[in-house]
Amino acid sequence: MAEKEKRILVGMSGGIDSSSVCIMLQEQGYEVVGVTMRTWDIPSHFSVPGQEQPDDVLEAQALAARLGIEHHVADVRKEFKDVIVRYFIDEYMRGRTPNPCVMCNPLFKERILCEWADRTGCAWIATGHYCRLEDINGNRYIVTGDDPAKDQSYFLWKLPQEILKRMLFPLGGMTKAEVRQYLASKGFEAKAKGGESMEICFIDKDYREFLKEHCPDIDERIGPGWFVDSKGLKLGQHKGFAYYTVGQRKGLEIALGKPMYVLKINPNKNTVMLGDAEQLKTEYMLVEDVNAVDMDELLSCRNLSVRIRYRSRPIPCRIARVDDSHLLVKFLGEASAITPGQSAVFYENNRVLGGGFIAFQQGVKKLAEICQFSM
């Protein structure tokens, strides 16, 4: 390999996965350069009073020193707040349930990794995501990782080709247990026994408390509203639509004699519709802001399935194009709790063909009557 071709930038969190990636790539002959992003400080990230850097930065620095690799810290707290945290708050204020990890990868983390790769003369970028890559007809596709319990392909559907073609995912063919075993075998026994990172890295409590903290006037802007049934009948008051999400059953603080779920949220009227589990089921779903590796391939796929939330099973489906940015999905299996703001990710077997965000579902039945679905 040419000198630049041997240099690879690794996004280092100081944890099990990125640490293993660094060691693997060194063994494969790469010159590893590490960068750790300081995105958001919360008290649990600091073990010692007066500590200047959070634990993940210190752990990454220690690993880099032990491996003898170049390491950088990117302090991107302001940008993270302006882009990802603002998106998170804005989505709840719109009556939607955000997917911060989906937005963070293309808009933030991988973009910053690309910038640092260029700055440090690295041809390649690697992360500890549990997924694989496959090249077909000049396109690069994300493929599910071999560990179904850790597969992270769902979060990466928005990554553009220009980034994917620079990336490596060394852990995609391994299980988490195998990664832990590998790390221990390299003399990092204590780290190999470490815990998992939080699902949403900037929240260490209930998201409702986070909204109140970072949007202090939320109760003035929204205020109490009405729980209603599917016919519009008022059932009782709620605290404000931003505090609820479709499919929610616990924490409604209303007694109606049987388990009730959030069916729909109407931010314009500040109403939250409740119903039973059967009413959560649906045959159709509208998806917006669609991104596909090859739109013609997605539209013509005969073996298509869709995941509507992380860790959910793929549901066989058919799709119809509504316009340039919207697809109507017809489920061929049971689907429930369609949640606006979450991602719908389309697969052919284990290969990601594209994805989009679940839209508000008004008018879906009328669209179903006029759309022509793929056969």
CATH number of the domain bearing residue 316? 2.40.30.10
- How many separate domains does the chain show? 3
* 128 known ligand binder: yes
- Quick check: is 201 catalytic? yes
Query: Is residue 335 domain-shared with residue 237, that is, in the same domain?
Result: no
Query: Is residue 61 domain-shared with residue 187, that is, in the same domain?
Result: yes
Catalytic residue among 22, 101, 104, 317: 104
Three-state secondary-structure class, residue 58: helix
CA nearest to 358, candidates 254, 301, 284, 278:
284
Classify residue 207: in a domain, yes or no.
no
Query: Is residue 30 domain-shared with residue 47, that is, in the same domain?
Result: yes
* 14 known ligand binder: yes
Residues 6+ apart with CB under 8 A from 287: 326, 327, 328, 329, 344, 356, 357, 358, 359
> What are the helix (H) ranges across 186-288?
189-192, 207-214, 218-221, 277-280
Classify residue 246: in a domain, yes or no.
yes
Catalytic residue among 131, 201, 301, 317: 201
Helix 176-185 × helix 16-27 angle, to 10°: 60
CA nearest to 271, candidates 294, 242, 291:
242
The pLDDT assigned to 198 comes to 64
Classify residue 197: in a domain, yes or no.
no
Out of 210, 240, 275, a domain closes at: 275
Classify residue 87: in a domain, yes or no.
yes
Token pair for 374: 């793929």
* 341 known ligand binder: no
Classify residue 84: in a domain, yes or no.
yes
- Quick check: is 317 catalytic? no
Is the four-CA dihedral 308, 310, 312, 313 of positive or negative sign?
positive
Helix or strand run (H / E) with residue 163: helix 161-164
Token pair for 67: 């491996």
Check: pTM over 0.85? Answer yes or no: yes
The pLDDT assigned to 43 comes to 87
Classify residue 137: in a domain, yes or no.
yes
Longest dimension (CA), the chain: 70
Three-state secondary-structure class, residue 231: coil
* 363 known ligand binder: no
Query: Is residue 268 domain-shared with residue 284, that is, in the same domain?
Result: no
Query: Is residue 291 domain-shared with residue 180, that is, in the same domain?
Result: no
Give the range of the structural domain holding residue 322, as residue numbers without chain letter: 280-370
Query: Is residue 188 domain-shared with residue 100, that is, in the same domain?
Result: yes
Is the four-CA dihedral 257, 261, 263, 266 of positive or negative sign?
positive
* 195 known ligand binder: no
Query: Is residue 186 domain-shared with residue 238, that is, in the same domain?
Result: no
| Residue-by-residue pLDDT tens, the chain, 375 positions | 456 679 999 999 999 999 999 999 999 999 999 999 999 998 888 999 889 999 999 999 999 999 999 999 999 999 999 999 999 999 999 999 999 999 998 888 999 999 999 999 999 999 999 999 999 999 999 999 999 999 999 999 999 999 999 999 999 999 999 999 999 999 999 899 888 776 788 888 889 999 999 999 999 999 999 999 999 999 999 999 999 999 999 999 999 999 999 999 999 999 999 999 999 999 999 999 999 999 999 999 999 999 999 989 999 999 999 998 899 999 999 999 999 999 999 999 999 999 999 999 988 999 999 988 876
* 356 known ligand binder: no
* 24 known ligand binder: no
Query: Is residue 153 domain-shared with residue 241, that is, in the same domain?
Result: no
Classify residue 167: in a domain, yes or no.
yes
* 13 known ligand binder: yes
